Amino acid sequence: MDAAPNSPAYHRVIVKVSGEALSGPEGFGIHQPTVDRIAEDLIAARKAGFALGVVVGGGNILRGVKMSGKSLSRPTADSMGMLATVMNGLVLEAAIERLGAPARTMSALSMPQVCETYERARALRHFEENRIVVFAGGTGNPFFTTDTTAVLRAAEMECDAVLKATDVDGVYSADPKKDPKAERYDRISLKEAFDRDLKVLDATAFALARENSMPIIVFSIRVPGAIEAVLRGTGRATVVGG
């Protein structure tokens, strides 16, 4: 959409939060102070007038692709991983609501006793009613990552961008933790990021983002207030595509 002068370019977005981000300094499981800080950042962006959905991963509890092997099929392992994302979604929803904002967890896997089952029309109504929607359960199918889920839900929810929360402040030419000469990009095309194998997204998510002209904004979730700052155009981030 076209933005008025000096107004933010992005108004409705999906924030992709990895499961590992929820483990904070612990490296595994759920670190409640970290979850609360992320919830506070989401609420601050909502109060600033932005519409937010969140796609949450499950790697802090279980990563399906690592569980698959001779004794466990990939579909079964991925189903276990999707259940982990539902647990994380419920934790994040509870933190958001405890801090005073309305939220709903919607799972691609049907478990009505636990949370709402994902339906596009209902999710759009939640956005219209200014709720923060937490999308869990991945796509509901094995072999697809939560990166792909984030781009898919962004397209379905008619979002302006996907904000990919990482532990670095953008996209670099190499791992900045290992290469001090790594170059940081302010903006890069989806094609260039894919051709250079910069690990922004997996191949399926890249293809979906390119097909839908969906910008991916990579930023550090470790910086308090980063979500609102990125949406206002003042935060440190890399815009991929757009």
Where residue 42 sits, what CATH number does that domain have? Answer: 3.40.1160.10
Question: Which residue numbers in the chain have pLDDT < 70?
Answer: 1-7, 64-66, 70
Could you tell me if residue 213 is inside a domain? yes
Could you tell me if residue 65 is inside a domain? yes
Domain total in the chain = 1
Cα angle 24, 29, 31 (rounded to 5 degrees) comes to 40
Distance CA(90)–CA(53), nearest Å, equals 14
Q: How much helix, strand and coil, in percent to the nearest 5, is found in the chain? A: 40, 20, 45
Q: Is the four-CA dihedral 64, 69, 71, 73 of positive or negative sign?
A: positive
User: What stretches of 11-105 show up as alpha helix (H) in DSSP?
Assistant: 19-22, 32-47, 64-67, 74-98
Could you tell me if residue 198 is inside a domain? yes
Could you tell me if residue 161 is inside a domain? yes
What per-residue confidence (pLDDT) applies to 23?
Answer: 94
Is the pTM for the entire model greater than 0.95?
no
What per-residue confidence (pLDDT) applies to 242?
Answer: 72
What per-residue confidence (pLDDT) applies to 2?
Answer: 43
Q: Helices 203-211 and 146-156: crossing angle, nearest 10°?
A: 10
What per-residue confidence (pLDDT) applies to 111?
Answer: 96
Could you tell me if residue 4 is inside a domain? no
Collapse the DSSP code of 224 into the 3-class scheme (helix H, G, I; strand E, B; otherwise coil) and give the result: coil
Token couple for 191: 């094609």
Could you tell me if residue 2 is inside a domain? no
Domain ranges, residue 123 = 12-240
pLDDT per position as a tens digit, 57-81: 999 998 766 677 768 899 999 999 9
Q: Can you tell me which residue has the tokens 């002068």? A: 5
Could you tell me if residue 152 is inside a domain? yes
**CB distance 227 to 45 below 8 Å:** yes
Q: Round the CA-based radius of gyration of the chain to a whole number and report it.
A: 17
**CB distance 238 to 185 below 8 Å:** yes
Could you tell me if residue 48 is inside a domain? yes
Strands (E), 132-212: 132-136, 161-166, 171-172, 184-185, 187-188
